[in-house]
A and B are shown apart, each in its own frame.
Chain A
Amino acid sequence: MDRSSRSRSRRLAPAVAAAAALILAGCSSSSGGKKAEEGAANASAGKADTPRMTVALVTHQAPGDTFWDTVRKGAEAAAAKDNMKLVYASDPNAGNQANLVQNAIDQKVDGIAVTLAKPDAMKSVIGKARQSGIPVVGLNSGLSDWKKLDLLEFFGQDESVAGEAFGKKLNTTGAKKVVCVIQEQGNVGLTQRCDGVKKTFTGTTETLYVNGTDMPSVKATITAKLKQDTSIDTVVTLGAPFALTAVQSVADAGSKAQVATFDLNKELVKAVRNGTIEFAVDQQPYLQGYLAVDSLWLYKNNGNYSGGGEQPVLTGPAFVDKSNIDRIAAFAAKGTR
Chain B
Amino acid sequence: MRMAQQAEPAAGAPPASGPGVADGRTTRRPLALRLLARPEVGVFLGAAAVLVFFLIVAPSVREGGSMATVLYQSSTIGIMALPVALLMIGGEFDLSAGVAVITSALTASMLSYQLTLNVWVGVIAALIVSLAIGAFNGWMVVKTGLPSFLVTLGTFLILQGANLAVTKLVTGNVATDDISDMDGFDQAKKVFASSVGVGGVQVKITVFYWLAFAALATWVLLRTKYGNWVFAVGGSKESARAVGVPVTFTKISLFMLVGLGAWFVGMHELFSFNTVQSGEGVGPELIYISAAVIGGCLLTGGYGSAIGPVFGAFMFGMVNQGIVFAGWNPDWFKAFLGVMLLGAVLINLWVQRTATRR
Q: Are A124 and B279 in contact (CB under 8 A)?
A: no
Q: In the complex the two chains form, what is the Cα distance from A83 to B71 in whole Å?
A: 33
Q: In the complex the two chains form, what is the Cα distance from A100 to B174 in whole Å?
A: 24
Q: In the complex the two chains form, what is the Cα distance from A164 to B271 in whole Å?
A: 35
Q: Are B330 and A184 in contact (CB under 8 A)?
A: no
Instruction: Count residues of chain A with CB under 8 A from any CB of chain B.
Output: 31
Given A87-B327, A93-B280, A99-B72, A120–B321 Cβ distance below 8 Å? no
B275 contacts across to A, CB distance below 8 A: 118, 120-121
Interface of A is mostly: helix
Q: Are A185 and B279 in contact (CB under 8 A)?
A: yes
Of the listed residues B277, B283, B320, B331, the one surrounded by the most CB atoms of chain A closer than 10 A to its CB is: B277
Of the listed residues B167, B320, B324, the one surrounded by the most CB atoms of chain A closer than 10 A to its CB is: B324
User: Interface range on chain B: under 10, 10 to 19, 20 to 34, or 35 or more?
Assistant: 20 to 34
Q: Nearest-CB distance from B184 to chain A (Å)?
A: 18
B279 contacts across to A, CB distance below 8 A: 184-187
B273 contacts across to A, CB distance below 8 A: 94-95, 98, 118, 120-121, 123
Given A124-B272, A191-B174, A89–B324 Cβ distance below 8 Å? yes
Q: Are B60 and A88 in contact (CB under 8 A)?
A: no
Within 8 A of B (CB), among A113-131: 118, 120-121, 123-124
B183 contacts across to A, CB distance below 8 A: none
Q: Are A63 and B277 in contact (CB under 8 A)?
A: no
Within 8 A of B (CB), among A240-263: none
* Interface flag for B178 (CB, 8 Å): yes
Q: In the complex the two chains form, what is the Cα distance from A269 to B104 in whole Å?
A: 44
Q: In the complex the two chains form, what is the Cα distance from A248 to B173 in whole Å?
A: 31
Q: Are B325 and A186 in contact (CB under 8 A)?
A: no
Q: Are B324 and A103 in contact (CB under 8 A)?
A: yes
Q: Nearest-CB distance from A274 to chain B (Å)?
A: 32
* Interface flag for A90 (CB, 8 Å): yes
Q: Nearest-CB distance from B326 to chain A (Å)?
A: 10
Q: Are B174 and A188 in contact (CB under 8 A)?
A: yes
Q: Nearest-CB distance from B117 to chain A (Å)?
A: 20
Q: Are A106 and B66 in contact (CB under 8 A)?
A: yes
Q: Are B63 and A106 in contact (CB under 8 A)?
A: yes
* Interface flag for A107 (CB, 8 Å): yes
Q: Which of B60, B167, B283 is close to A108, meaning CB atoms less than 8 Å apart?
A: B60
Q: Are A106 and B164 in contact (CB under 8 A)?
A: no
A89 contacts across to B, CB distance below 8 A: 324, 330
Q: In the complex the two chains form, what is the Cα distance from A118 to B280 in whole Å?
A: 11
Q: Nearest-CB distance from B206 to chain A (Å)?
A: 11
Q: In the complex the two chains form, what is the Cα distance from A187 to B279 in whole Å?
A: 8
Looking across the interface, which residue of chain B has its beta carbon closest to that of A191? B174
A282-297 contact mask (Cβ, 8 Å, vs B): 1 or 0 = 0000000000000000
Q: Nearest-CB distance from A207 to chain B (Å)?
A: 11
Q: Are B69 and A88 in contact (CB under 8 A)?
A: no
* Interface flag for B34 (CB, 8 Å): no
Q: Are A120 and B178 in contact (CB under 8 A)?
A: yes
Q: Are B174 and A185 in contact (CB under 8 A)?
A: yes
* Interface flag for B175 (CB, 8 Å): yes
Q: In the complex the two chains form, what is the Cα distance from A104 to B60 in whole Å?
A: 10
Q: Nearest-CB distance from B108 to chain A (Å)?
A: 15
B321 contacts across to A, CB distance below 8 A: 99-100, 103
Given A106-B63, A186-B164, A187-B174, A94–B69 Cβ distance below 8 Å? no
Q: Nearest-CB distance from B125 to chain A (Å)?
A: 21
Show 26 residue pairs from A and B whose CB-CB distance is below 8 angstroms, ordered by the A residue: A63-B334, A89-B330, A90-B330, A93-B283, A94-B273, A94-B277, A94-B280, A95-B269, A95-B272, A95-B273, A96-B73, A100-B324, A103-B321, A104-B324, A105-B65, A106-B63, A106-B65, A107-B60, A107-B325, A118-B275, A118-B277, A120-B275, A186-B174, A186-B175, A187-B174, A191-B174
- Which 9 pairs show the lowest CB-CB distances between chains A and B? A186-B279, A121-B273, A106-B66, A186-B174, A120-B275, A107-B60, A89-B324, A120-B274, A106-B65
